[in-house]
């Protein structure tokens, strides 16, 4: 939609900040994000004026050094996504159920973040945004707080349930959503955990997952669980922490297979044993080729979100690199 002055000014009425206040300096162009240029991009994307506080907080997160925005131009095709939590989800009608990333207002909010990354942060396709096969649209989603059996994501990160937050994450993939179906010999929870382990082990950035040291926290794996899957896990006695711990302990592959991935799909091309010597991988990666090694560095790189169709048992594993999920409080005018 054309960002007319009148339309942009309506967006500015939804924030107590001045039009030229500095919200963040966005890499890689190191340009100033202000309420004015955020509103211009939001208007073009088809957002509503009441989305403005959410977008201001999202831009604050994009500018945080933990977000490491300057690295999303990777040729692996990293794209940003927003996770919205708190009472604002119901107040603004943010989608948390079926087709949540495709339906308005989520679709417009995702477009706005994509435009902000291009027009303010300066990521231009083929120049500084170098995805080999391109990028899907930036997306926005909300946690289905009324149907999660666990604490919401933002409460897990230290916020109160009645506070509104937006988290910026990144992913290399938006892909298949397999369904864990019960089998007579296994419970639904066991099947879901096994399926999640198998999905994690398929990801392209697998060679980074076991890393230790300061860069280990710059791997993020976001698990989207539909409400029936989350309920099955909770009914079997699993907390969020239990699910993460189980996946950390049980997501394994043979050292021979992992070593091949480390040598031939990583840009470093270094064998797993050599990375142990460098202090990057734990000692178990110096074992025998037939040993089955844990491929996750810690339960803490796993982030669980309950969302999606409340009548479908589906999961999705989104991997990302170079960044940490970065959460900011949404401050309403």
Per-residue pLDDT at 185 exceeds 80: no
Confidence of residue 214 (pLDDT cuts 50, 70, 90): low
Per-residue pLDDT at 277 exceeds 60: yes
Confidence of residue 205 (pLDDT cuts 50, 70, 90): confident
DSSP codes, 39-67: HHHHHHHT--GGGHHHHHHHHHHHHSTTT
- The verdict on residue 263 lying in a domain is no
- The verdict on residue 279 lying in a domain is no
Per-residue pLDDT at 280 exceeds 70: yes
SS3 category, 95: coil
Angle at 210 between CA 141 and CA 149, to 5 degrees: 35
Lowest model confidence (mean pLDDT) among 90-99, 131-140, 174-183: 174-183
SS3 category, 225: strand
Q: Which domain holds residue 120?
A: 5-251+295-329
DSSP codes, 250-301: H-EEEHHHHHHHHHHTSTT---HHHHHHTTSS-GGGGS-TT-EEE--S-GGG
How far is the C-alpha of 319 from the C-alpha of 187, rounded, in Å?
27
Lowest model confidence (mean pLDDT) among 236-245, 247-256, 315-324: 315-324
Cis? peptide before 149, omega within 30° of 0? no
Q: Residue 168: is it exposed, middle or buried by C-beta count within 10 angstroms (0-12/13-18/19+)? A: buried
- The verdict on residue 195 lying in a domain is yes
- The verdict on residue 211 lying in a domain is yes
Neighbours of 280 (CB within 10 A): 20
How far is the C-alpha of 117 from the C-alpha of 124, rounded, in Å?
9
Of 158, 198, 116, 165, nearest to 328 by C-alpha is 165
- The verdict on residue 161 lying in a domain is yes
- The verdict on residue 269 lying in a domain is no
- The verdict on residue 199 lying in a domain is yes
Widest CA span in the chain: 68
Q: For residue 1, what is the DSSP state?
A: -
- For residue 225, give every residue at least 6 positions away whose Cβ sits within 8 Å of its Cβ, in sequence order, or none: 192, 233, 304, 305, 306, 307, 308, 315
pLDDT per position as a tens digit, 3-23: 999 999 999 999 999 999 999
pLDDT per position as a tens digit, 20-76: 999 999 998 999 999 999 999 999 999 999 999 999 999 999 999 999 898 888 888
Q: Is 122 left (phi over 0), alpha (psi -120 to 50) or beta?
A: left
Average pLDDT over residues 201-221: 82
pLDDT per position as a tens digit, 106-142: 999 999 999 999 999 999 988 898 989 988 889 999 9
Number of domains within the chain: 1
Per-residue pLDDT at 217 exceeds 60: no
Q: What is the pLDDT of residue 85?
A: 98
Tell me if 298 sits within 8 A of 213, measured CB to CB.
no
- For residue 254, give every residue at least 6 positions away whose Cβ sits within 8 Å of its Cβ, in sequence order, or none: 289, 290, 291, 292, 293
- The verdict on residue 286 lying in a domain is no
How far is the C-alpha of 261 from the C-alpha of 256, rounded, in Å?
9
């Amino acid at each position: 939609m054309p960002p007319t002055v009148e339309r942009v000014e309506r967006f500015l009425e939804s924030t107590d900040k001045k039009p030229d206040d500095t919200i963040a300096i966005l890499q890689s162009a190191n340009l100033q994000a202000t309420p004015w240029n955020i509103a211009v991009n939001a208007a073009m994307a088809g957002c509503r004026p009441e989305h403005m506080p959410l977008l201001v907080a999202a831009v604050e997160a994009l500018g945080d050094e933990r977000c490491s925005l300057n690295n999303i131009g990777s040729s692996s095709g990293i794209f940003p996504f927003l996770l919205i939590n708190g009472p604002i989800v119901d107040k603004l009608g943010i989608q948390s159920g079926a087709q949540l990333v495709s339906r308005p207002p989520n679709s417009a909010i995702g477009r706005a973040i994509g435009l902000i990354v291009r027009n303010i942060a300066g990521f231009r396709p083929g120049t500084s945004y170098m995805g080999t096969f391109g990028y899907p649209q930036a997306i926005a989603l909300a946690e289905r707080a009324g149907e999660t059996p666990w604490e919401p994501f933002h409460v897990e990160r230290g916020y109160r349930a009645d506070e509104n937050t937006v988290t910026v994450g990144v992913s290399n993939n938006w892909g298949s959503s397999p369904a864990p179906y019960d089998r007579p010999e296994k419970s639904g929870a066991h099947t879901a955990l096994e399926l999640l382990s198998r999905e994690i082990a398929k990801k392209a950035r697998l060679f980074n997952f076991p890393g230790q040291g300061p860069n280990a926290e710059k791997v993020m794996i976001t698990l989207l669980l539909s409400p029936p899957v989350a309920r099955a896990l909770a009914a079997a006695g699993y907390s969020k922490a239990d699910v993460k711990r189980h996946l950390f302990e049980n997501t394994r592959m043979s050292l021979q297979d992992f070593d091949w991935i480390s040598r031939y799909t990583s840009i470093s091309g270094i064998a797993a044993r050599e990375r142990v010597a460098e202090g990057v991988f734990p000692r178990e990666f110096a074992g025998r080729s037939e040993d089955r090694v844990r491929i996750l560095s810690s339960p803490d790189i796993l982030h669980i979100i309950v969302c999606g169709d409340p009548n479908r048992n589906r999961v999705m594993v989104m991997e990302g690199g170079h960044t940490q999920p970065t959460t900011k409080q949404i401050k309403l005018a």
